């Protein structure tokens, strides 16, 4: 089903390029869940985890094609100007005051954000509307939340012409089960998906980035500095990419093998389910 037949209800899966989404793609290929269309809302090749972009292009897309599944990449296109925008581009644009990401305030709490709504929910919603979804005939949108993240399930965060479904919860699958599904299909397990500068990253993830991807870590440090240079000009308090209330370079020191107690790593992950799956 590709949504071309208006008499048929639309069913699509919000594909994030991570473990749960890839497991769903495999399960669909095996006929274990009823999804033939997967929509990947790419926040930007300059914004997504670079490893996710590679995985989607080199593993997920060929697998989908081989099994007759539709894997569509979407981008945020402005309605009036038809300009394609990326999240990183919006954050760094000259003169921009945008803080769409959940930057951490001085007390460690995340600020307000619109990145998920603008770059995931609305983009997918617009595509489904284009394909014929209406409030009277809503599209079903599968979200890749597994049992161990059940607290992230939230039926309210969708467009009026959508109905949210959690097929991994229905099957009782945990993240470890999703990894097993992928491996059993003979595929590599994807990296964790998120923007490389997302303030919801866990401290250990930042540490791993500094260790294994120093250039990307440095880029994140420069982004944080840019945001704060702008806030200085506006007379506003500094914001940070971690909860520790200090610059990323100091918050995540170099050359340390184990920085954090594993019990402290659940650092307020995005609860929408539209990201990091």
Q: Which domains does the chain have, with CATH numbers?
A: 11-194 (3.40.50.620), 201-266 (no CATH)
Nearest residue to 185 via CA among 52, 13, 17, 22: 22
Contacts of residue 201, defined as CB under 8 A and 6 or more positions apart, other chains included, come to 194, 209, 241, 242, 267
pLDDT of residue 4: 47
Element (H, E) at 63: helix 61-66
205: three-class secondary structure by DSSP: helix
Tokens representing 166 are 């959690």
pLDDT of residue 156: 55
Least reliable range by pLDDT among 23-32, 145-154, 173-182: 145-154
Grade residue 54 by pLDDT with cuts at 50, 70 and 90.
very high
Percent of the chain with pLDDT over 70: 88
Contact in structure between 256 and 217 (CB atoms under 8 Å) = no
Grade residue 158 by pLDDT with cuts at 50, 70 and 90.
confident
- Residues forming beta bridges with residue 141, ordered by sequence position: 12, 164
pLDDT digits (tens, 9 = 90+) for 194-229: 999 999 999 999 999 999 999 999 999 999 999 999
Contact in structure between 89 and 115 (CB atoms under 8 Å) = no
Question: In the block, which residue shows the tokens 């702008």?
Answer: 230
In terms of pTM, does the model score above 0.75? yes
pLDDT of residue 271: 53
- Comparing 160 with 271, which gets the higher pLDDT? 160
- Comparing 153 with 237, which gets the higher pLDDT? 237
Question: In the block, which residue shows the tokens 């300059």?
Answer: 46
Separation of CA 15 from chain center: 9
């Amino acid at each position: 089903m590709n949504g071309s037949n208006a008499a048929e209800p639309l069913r699509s899966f919000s594909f994030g390029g991570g473990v749960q989404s890839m497991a769903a793609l495999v399960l669909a290929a095996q006929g274990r869940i009823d999804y033939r269309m997967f929509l990947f809302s790419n926040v930007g090749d300059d914004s997504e985890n670079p490893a996710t972009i590679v995985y989607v292009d080199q593993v997920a897309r060929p697998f989908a094609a081989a099994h007759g599944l539709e894997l569509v990449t979407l981008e945020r296109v402005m309605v009036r100007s038809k300009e394609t925008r990326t999240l990183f581009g919006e954050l760094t644009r000259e003169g921009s005051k945008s803080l769409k990401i959940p930057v951490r305030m001085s007390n460690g709490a995340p600020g307000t954000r619109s990145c998920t709504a603008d770059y995931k929910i609305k983009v997918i919603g617009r595509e489904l509307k284009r394909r014929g979804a209406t409030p009277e005939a809503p599209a079903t949108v599968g979200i890749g939340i597994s049992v161990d993240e059940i607290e992230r399930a939230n039926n309210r965060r969708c467009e009026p012409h959508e109905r949210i479904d959690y097929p991994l919860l229905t099957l009782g699958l945990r993240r470890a089960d999703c990894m097993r599904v992928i491996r059993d299909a003979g595929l590599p397990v994807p990296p964790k998906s998120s923007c490389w500068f997302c303030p919801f990253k866990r401290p250990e993830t930042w540490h791993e980035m500094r260790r294994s991807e120093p250039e990307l870590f440095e880029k994140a440090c420069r982004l944080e500095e840019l945001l704060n240079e702008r806030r200085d000009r506006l007379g506003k308090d500094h914001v940070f990419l971690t909860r520790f209330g200090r610059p990323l370079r100091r918050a995540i020191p170099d050359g340390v093998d184990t920085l954090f107690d594993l019990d402290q790593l659940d650092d307020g992950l995005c609860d929408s389910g539209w990201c990091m799956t």
